[in-house]
Amino acid sequence: MAEAENQGQNAHIRCRTIIEVLGKPKEHVEASLNEYTKHIREDSELVVLNEESSETVERGHLWSKFAELDLVIKGTGKLISFCFEYMPSSLEVVKPESLMMQNSELSGFLNDLQARLHNVDMVVKQQKAENEFLKQNFNALIHNAILICLKVSPFSLEQLSGITGVAGKELEIFAGNLVKENKVKKENGTYSLA
């Protein structure tokens, strides 16, 4: 029974995985993927049986390149840490067909997973707060730019757009809010201070 319980910790696990890098510039994407796969090949608890890399392709404003690896990993603990460390796009366990894990190993995995999820949640909340802060300041900046322009002279939306660099459709929303707040008035397509 003890041998079956340790199978997961010491089993040689054969798997196929895809490691993908997405970013820019193209050279950085290629260098990053090469660095990732180099670290994998140098890891003493991993054996790379086969490696195939894709061509680097452009996806919108970013570049993408991936490597498909056929490898052997020693133990479920190393398999789990491989997933956390290299964040593969996909991983398929080929052999063995079944594995056993000890409670402590499963608990460790679940605690690591929870810690990472909490970290991601914290980063998302920080980004959301920063985006809200930037949005509020951007709105105040545009409102102030409109008010400063109109202190000099009345302007049409097109003229305000040319001065502020904000597209007419978007600027119309800001100007409309200032009209609703009675800070600006609009007559015959021209905006002026109220």
- What CA–CA distances, in Å, run from 136 to 15, 167, 168, 179, 180? 49, 18, 20, 19, 18
Q: Alpha-carbon distance 106 to 45, whole Å?
A: 20
As a whole number, the mean pLDDT across the chain is: 86
Torsion of CA 155, 159, 160, 162, to 10 degrees: -160
Strand 62-74 versus strand 184-187 pairing type:
unpaired
Residues 6+ apart with CB under 8 A from 192: 150, 154, 184, 185
Strand 12-23 versus strand 190-193 pairing type:
unpaired
87 in the same domain as 38 = yes
Residues 6+ apart with CB under 8 A from 150: 184, 191, 192, 193
The proportion of the chain whose per-residue pLDDT surpasses 90, expressed as a percent, equals 17
Q: Alpha-carbon distance 62 to 57, whole Å?
A: 9
At which of 71, 101, 131 does a domain end?
Answer: 101
71 in the same domain as 152 = no
Q: How confident is the model at residue 1 (pLDDT cuts 50, 70, 90)?
A: very low
Query: For position 189, which CATH number holds?
Result: 1.10.10.10
Say if residues 30 and 18 touch (Cβ distance below 8 Å). Answer: no
Q: Is the pLDDT of residue 4 over 80?
A: no
Query: For position 57, which CATH number holds?
Result: 3.30.70.260
Q: What would the mean pLDDT of 15-32 be, rounded to a whole number? A: 90
158 lies in some domain = yes
Q: How confident is the model at residue 9 (pLDDT cuts 50, 70, 90)?
A: low
Q: Alpha-carbon distance 184 to 189, whole Å?
A: 12
pLDDT tens-digit series, residues 68-83? 999 998 888 888 888 8
pLDDT tens-digit series, residues 26-39? 899 899 999 988 98
Q: What would the mean pLDDT of 53-81 be, rounded to a whole number? A: 88
Q: Alpha-carbon distance 15 to 49, whole Å?
A: 10
Q: How confident is the model at residue 5 (pLDDT cuts 50, 70, 90)?
A: very low
Say if residues 80 and 1 touch (Cβ distance below 8 Å). Answer: no
- Residue 56 burial (CB < 10 Å; 0-12/13-18/19+)? middle
pLDDT tens-digit series, residues 115-144? 888 888 888 999 999 999 999 999 899 898
Q: What would the mean pLDDT of 97-113 be, rounded to a whole number? A: 79
Q: How many domains does the chain have?
A: 2
12 in the same domain as 95 = yes
183 lies in some domain = yes
For 96, the domain range is: 8-101
143 in the same domain as 97 = no
80 in the same domain as 28 = yes
26 lies in some domain = yes
At which of 101, 130, 153 does a domain end?
Answer: 101
What does the buried/exposed string (b/e) look like for 100-125 if buried means 16 or more CB atoms within 10 Å of the residue's CB? Answer: ebeeebeeebeeeeeeeeeeeeeeee
150 lies in some domain = yes
48 secondary structure, DSSP code: E
